Structure 1
Amino acid sequence: MAPFLAHEDHGGSGDPAAVPLVLVHGHPFDRTMWTPQSEVFAASRRVIAPDLRGYGASPVSPALTDFGGFARDIEALLDELGVASCVLAGVSMGGQIAMECYGRFPHRVRGLVLADTSPVAETPEGRTARRAMADRLLREGMRGYADEVLEKMVAPYADPEVKAHVHRMMTATRPEGAAAALRARAERPDYRELLSRATVPALVVVGADDTYTPVAGAEALHALLPDASLCVVEGAAHLPNLERPERFNAALAEFLARVDARV
């Protein structure tokens, strides 16, 4: 049985017809990466932000072997909280997990927000690199990795408080959880065919200076989806929801209004 995920459950006092929003964090972070969104959108709808298994306050074991495990955990959380359907929003690995969720329980997904992410399966070289990084994190811990990638996760010019928050999340992550997720991520499927058949609206977001998932990849993802809008966030790299929350929130608010209107 899937472990019960640590989570925040905000709002619910706004419009009862507003579709709940579920926020899926990336690697190697936790639910606090969504604070700028939870604080704003809880005024109008229910907002749920879980810690994925192996991250934050959620349990590490039993370790996951594929993205299906993350999706099963999220579906179990929705069941536990009585959420029949929702908008799923994910950044980076969280976006890929949102894609996996859509493949497994599409009837519960009313919209997809895919930020700084890619639907493409990992390359052979990428699989090797992710497995090697998993071994390194177990051997060395998170600090060296966090120091190395901080200014790729957020732009070098990012606000110092944002940098400090991102670095804290990375160094607080347990190596066992991060390593398990890296191995699962190495084996992820290709989601392009699934997304080309999507029947729900989608919002694709990308930081203009993202080097992990560049703008060209976001444009390709946008073109793939039958009903999607694209938002390129200037002055941001891989985590625009933290680096430029006002711009990210404006795009998200517009998208959520469109989903709500479809009811």
Structure 2
Amino acid sequence: MATATIGEITIGYDDEGTGDTLVLVHGHPFDRSMWQPQVAHLSRAGWRVIAPDLRGYGSSTVVPGKTTLDVFAADIAGLLDRLGVDRFVLGGLSMGGQIVLECHRLFAHRLRGLLLADTSAPADGEATRGWRREMAERLLREGMGPYAEEVLYKMVSASAPPDVVTQVLAMMRGTAPEGAAAALRGRAERPDYVAMLAEVAVPALVVVGAEDAFTPVADARVMSDTIPDAWLVVVEGAAHMPNLERSAEFNAALHDFLIRTRETAAGA
């Protein structure tokens, strides 16, 4: 693991391999270790893979209060500036996918392709915004343990390998409640990205677990049907984290997609 000071915070990140760059943004309430199967596979396959811990998560600085998606996006841009990376393929899962969409809104010119995994484009409705704010307060009162137990088998399916179940539970329990609460408050205020989807001018891979209850297949189809050059992969036997539950299938789809982005860039 490496670290970089970006503004007022320190960001922990992995940076493996050489070649064209893929940046992977983790979801809530996880950390960069959720991408370990993808970092290991793709860094050996001719790609430079960078996976940061978002502020408030993993080994990055915990900032209480409220962290909106534009702040996460600015942190990512700042880290990549520090690393000398101008253009890159950007991928994220769940909240990470929404951060990817925010990055597209703010600096689409830097992106060569998008991976949108188990995420959704619409803004929250009023009820969901209220739920996120209430959950933020609950995490501060109770810590991460009770929430982690409640949602474990929505994050992964009942058939998930035991080591994956253990890893997902450990990531959730290990997240700082203050960081998770700040992200929940900020996420409740995110904009609606649906209208922007038709403007995406780079290839996009949309992946979703067939059993995902948080962001179901219908949400994925909204994105794959609207983005002009999009490819939908539905991963059977997986819930919200197909990159861990079915890493071989996820890696194969992502590797094929990266080759496609490289060919698209070469033909531009």
Q: What secondary structure, in the 3-state scheme, does the structure 2 residue paired with 1:20 have?
A: strand
Are 2:29 and 1:25 equivalent residues in the alignment? no
| Structure 1 residue runs without a partner (length 5+) | none
Q: 1:2 to 1:87 in 2, by over 3 A?
A: farther
Aligned to 2:235: 233
Aligned to 1:97: 99
Aligned residue runs from structure 1 range 188-203, under 5 A: 188-203=190-205
List structure 1 runs of 4+ shifted beyond 3 angstroms.
62-65
Are 2:210 and 1:204 equivalent residues in the alignment? no
Are 2:256 and 1:250 equivalent residues in the alignment? no
How far is the alpha carbon of 1:55 from its aligned partner?
0.1
| Structure 2 residue runs without a partner (length 5+) | 1-6
How many pairs are equivalent? 258
Tell me if the contact between 1:119 and 1:191 (Cα under 8 Å) persists in the aligned partners: yes
Aligned residue runs from structure 1 range 126-165, under 5 A: 126-165=128-167
Q: What secondary structure, in the 3-state scheme, does the structure 1 residue paired with 2:50 have?
A: strand
Which of 50, 53, 77 is residue 75 of structure 1 equivalent to? 77
Structure 2 distance, partners of 1:204, 1:4, is 31
Q: Which amino acid aligns with 2:39?
A: S
Q: Percent identity?
A: 57
Structure 2 distance, partners of 1:79, 1:6, is 15
How far is the alpha carbon of 1:129 from its aligned partner?
0.2
Are 2:5 and 1:3 equivalent residues in the alignment? no
RMSD: 1.0
Q: Deviations over 1:42-70 (max 9, x none)?
A: 11111000000000000012654311000
Q: Deviations over 1:57-104 (max 9, x none)?
A: 000126543110000000000001111111101000000000001111
Q: What secondary structure, in the 3-state scheme, does the structure 2 residue paired with 1:6 have?
A: strand
Tell me if the contact between 2:17 and 2:43 (Cα under 8 Å) persists in the aligned partners: yes
Tell me if the contact between 1:2 and 1:72 (Cα under 8 Å) persists in the aligned partners: no
Q: Which amino acid aligns with 2:228?
A: P
More strand by share: 2
Q: What secondary structure, in the 3-state scheme, does the structure 2 residue paired with 1:5 have?
A: strand
Tell me if the contact between 2:64 and 2:178 (Cα under 8 Å) persists in the aligned partners: no
- For normalisation by structure 1, the TM-score amounts to 0.96
Q: What secondary structure, in the 3-state scheme, does the structure 2 residue paired with 1:205 have?
A: strand
- For normalisation by structure 2, the TM-score amounts to 0.94
